[in-house]
Amino acid sequence: MILLAFVLQEGELRLTEMPEPEAQHGEVVVRLKVAGLNRRDLYIQNRWGNKDVPLILGSDGAGIIEAIGEGVTEFKIGDEVMINPSLNWVKNSEAPPKGFDILGMPDHGTFAEKIAITSNQVERIPSHFTWEEAGVFVLSALTGYRALFTKGDLQSGDAIFIPGVGSGVATYMVQLANAIGAKVIVSSRHNDKRKKALEIGAFKAIDTNGDWQQLLSDESIDIVIDSVGGATFNRSLQILKQGGTMVTFGATTDDVVSINIRDFFYGQYKLIGSTMGSKEELGDLISLMKKHELKPIVGKTFSFNDIQTAFDFLEENHQFGKIAIKMD
């Protein structure tokens, strides 16, 4: 049997046929209904190179369990589940354990009609989620949850600044921070994204191109969550209160940042790195989403046959929220 998949092979992205997966011991086969596109999928092209072995891309997805391997007792055929792409990280810890990886490289990912994966890597879908919402949920939301709460120790009443709102992670962080009573401030170059951020819970939305110190002169920022990197790092540091915390989990601009170390230690700042999260944290995140009836923001949905257009759309940075790929 064969299935349709979107792969990276010899440096090119293409829809092609791949062998249908089978459930091995401890695995389930999920017929995917929706997959989620992440910025990570854009960057893998540089990391995988020109290998002639096809790699199925994709980290997020949701679907129906179609087959169950030996030893699986917690799920049954017909269960509706979403994929947890944070591989081999079960308990919350200071850093990912040895063996941690993210689905979609080197393991085959979710841009296919079916996926075989260990049963420990799937979660039941919250009843208030649609298929599209479930399919785009885990990677970005879990990344945001760990940055906010595990690493940032965000509390009710804290003022948090999130530069570059519009990405999937940022939209989750706005919703989650607002839900627990934090004061959420964001920035964007686009007026429509600033308006949408206010609609989902931001207290204030400023122009990225403006003078942040002037625009936020009446605010005391406790925490900055920065995933932009070189373009915003020092500007973010300038508006952070003395003794405040900066959490960083990405770099959509330059990876390398120069800082004035004297200003940094006189300011008594805390700089913390973060990435993805554990299965334990995912359980806490799902509980928080259920408690406050929060739903993922799906900015745009593409058909599987039009997935290349979805890649182009993400690369042009037009989206607010997540991009869903309907597999059927």
The backbone torsions φ and ψ at residue 9, rounded to the nearest 5 degrees and listed phi first, read -145, 130
Positions of CATH 3.90.180.10 in the chain? 2-141+277-326
Q: What is residue 305's DSSP assignment?
A: G
The pTM score is: 0.95
Residue 328: per-residue pLDDT: 75
Domain at 153-273, CATH from 3.40.50.720, 2.10.60.10, 3.40.50.740, 3.40.50.150: 3.40.50.720
pLDDT tens over the chain, length 328 residues: 789 999 999 989 999 999 999 999 999 999 999 999 999 998 888 888 889 999 999 999 999 999 999 999 999 999 999 999 999 999 999 999 999 999 999 999 999 999 999 999 999 999 999 999 999 999 999 999 999 999 999 999 999 999 989 888 999 999 999 999 999 999 999 999 999 999 999 999 999 999 999 999 999 999 999 987 767 788 999 999 999 999 998 766 567 778 889 999 999 999 999 999 999 999 999 999 999 999 999 999 999 999 999 999 998 877 899 999 999 7
Look at residue 22 and give its three-state secondary structure.
coil
Q: CATH 3.40.50.720 in the chain, residues?
A: 153-273
CA-CA-CA-CA torsion sign (233, 236, 242, 248): negative
pLDDT at 49: 80
Cβ-contact 139, 147 below 8 angstroms: no
CATH homologous superfamily of 2-141+277-326: Medium-chain alcohol dehydrogenases, catalytic domain (3.90.180.10)
Predicted confidence at residue 254, as pLDDT, reads: 65
Q: To 10 degrees, the CA torsion angle through 156, 158, 162, 166? A: 30
